[in-house]
Amino acid sequence: MKTLLALMLFAALLPAAAQPEAKPDRTVSIVAERFFFSPSRITVKQGALVEFVLTSEDTEHGFHLAAARVNAVIPQQGKGELRVRFLASKKGKYAFECSRACGAGHNLMRGEVVVK
Asked if residue 110 binds Cu ion (CB under 5 A), the reply is: no
Q: How many CB atoms lie within 10 A of CB 30?
A: 20
* Nearer Cβ to Cu ion (44/82): 82
User: Quick one: which segment of 3-11, 25-33, 75-83, 103-111 binds Cu ion (CB under 5 A)?
Assistant: 103-111
Q: Which range binds Cu ion by CB under 5 A, 3-11, 36-44, 47-55, 108-116?
A: 108-116
Single out the segment in contact with Cu ion by CB under 5 A; choices: 20-28, 48-56, 70-78, 90-98.
Answer: 90-98
Write the DSSP assignment of 62-103 as a string of letters: EEEEGGGTEEEEEPPTTS--EEEEEE--S-EEEEEE--S--S
Contact status: 102 vs Cu ion (CB under 5 A): yes
Residues 6 or more apart whose CB falls under 8 angstroms from that of 87 comprise 48, 49, 50, 68
Footprint of Cu ion (CB under 5 A)? 98, 100, 102, 106, 109
